[in-house]
């Protein structure tokens, strides 16, 4: 078992000066491109007791708005109301973001602090399909940096020939029946859910 950083470094070595110096404390014009072109971001948060959560957020590219070189706004869309991300932000204010751009190997990371906002004027520019979000997550950037493409090369994530047929995977209804309600009618649940999505109900 590896228990100290010294033992870890003996195994993996240390980063080069070039790589170690890649972390900035604000956004620049190059970093902005990754946020502006990204339709998908993973949001990691922590509760006051140390509980962890990673939650996906997705919208048309550029939905995470750059307010200035140190501030981002993530609109909060309707979800399942468990609200792990939001309650964690209220408790600890710690946040980490991982932006993906379809077809691009490099990803972009932001670490910092966050608060919730219900400022209607601020949120107005995050309107989609005529719906303005009630809440947003304001992120103050402490660290910003790109991540190399090795993980996406190894996973071959963007290779359509390796995409899994969704019909071969357990559905949301099947998973809910397994852990939440053994009496759930999966076919009815899935049909109603797909119909809501078809009508765009609850997306915004």
Tens-digit pLDDT profile for residues 41-86: 999 999 999 999 999 999 999 999 999 999 999 999 999 999 999 9
Tell me the HSE value of 147 on the side-chain side, using a 13 A CA sphere.
Answer: 16
145 touches 24 (CB < 8 A): yes
Q: Do 191 and 103 belong to one domain?
A: no
Residue 194 CB neighbour total at 10 angstroms: 11
Residues 6+ apart with CB under 8 A from 166: none
Q: Do 86 and 176 belong to one domain?
A: no
108 touches 99 (CB < 8 A): yes
Q: Cα(71)–Cα(137) distance, rounded to whole angstroms? A: 10
Q: Do 45 and 104 belong to one domain?
A: yes
Cα→Cα distances 32→24, 37, 157, Å = 13, 9, 23
Tally: H helices and E strands in the chain: 8, 7
To 5 degrees, how large is the angle CA 79–CA 124–CA 128?
Answer: 50
Strands (DSSP E) contained in 15-171 are: 40-46, 52-58, 65-68, 71-76, 94-100, 107-117, 135-147
Rg (CA), the chain: 20
The answer to the question of residue 4 being in a domain is: no
Q: Do 116 and 40 belong to one domain?
A: yes
Q: Cα(134)–Cα(156) distance, rounded to whole angstroms? A: 37
Q: Cα(110)–Cα(138) distance, rounded to whole angstroms? A: 13
Residues 6+ apart with CB under 8 A from 124: 132
CATH code of the domain in which 73 resides: 2.30.110.10
Q: What is the pLDDT of residues 135-194, one digit of tens each?
A: 999 999 999 999 999 999 999 999 999 999 999 999 999 999 999 999 999 999 999 999
State the pLDDT at residue 101: 98
Q: Do 181 and 110 belong to one domain?
A: no
Q: Cα(18)–Cα(21) distance, rounded to whole angstroms? A: 5
139 DSSP assignment: E
Would you say the pTM of this structure is higher than 0.85?
yes
State the pLDDT at residue 121: 97
Q: What average pLDDT does the chain have?
A: 97
Q: What is the pLDDT of residues 22-36, one digit of tens each?
A: 999 999 999 999 999
Residue 180, domain extent = 164-198
Q: Do 29 and 116 belong to one domain?
A: yes
Residues 6+ apart with CB under 8 A from 48: 91, 92
The answer to the question of residue 17 being in a domain is: yes
Mean pLDDT for 106-121 is 98
Q: Do 106 and 168 belong to one domain?
A: no
Q: Do 94 and 113 belong to one domain?
A: yes
State the pLDDT at residue 85: 98
The answer to the question of residue 91 being in a domain is: yes
The answer to the question of residue 203 being in a domain is: no
pLDDT band at 18 (very low <50, low <70, confident <90, very high): very high
Share of the chain above pLDDT 70, in %: 100
């Amino acid at each position: 078992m590896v228990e100290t950083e010294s033992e870890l470094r003996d195994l993996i070595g240390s980063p080069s000066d070039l790589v170690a110096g890649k972390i900035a404390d604000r956004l620049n014009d190059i970093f902005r491109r990754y946020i502006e072109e990204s339709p998908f971001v993973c949001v990691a948060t922590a509760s006051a007791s140390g509980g962890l959560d990673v939650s996906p957020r997705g919208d048309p590219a550029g939905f995470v708005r750059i307010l200035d070189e140190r501030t981002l706004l993530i609109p909060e869309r309707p979800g399942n109301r468990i609200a792990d991300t939001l309650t964690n932000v209220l408790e600890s204010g710690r946040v980490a973001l991982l932006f993906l751009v379809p077809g691009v190997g490099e990803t972009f990371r932001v670490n910092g602090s966050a608060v919730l906002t219900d400022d209607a004027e601020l949120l107005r520019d995050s309107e989609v399909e005529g719906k303005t979000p009630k809440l947003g997550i304001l992120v103050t950037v402490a660290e910003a940096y790109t991540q190399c493409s090795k993980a996406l090369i190894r996973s071959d994530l963007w290779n359509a020939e390796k995409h899994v047929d969704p019909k071969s995977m357990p559905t949301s209804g099947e998973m809910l029946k397994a852990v939440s309600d053994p009496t759930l009618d999966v076919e009815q649940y899935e049909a109603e859910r797909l119909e809501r999505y078809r009508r765009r109900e609850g997306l915004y």
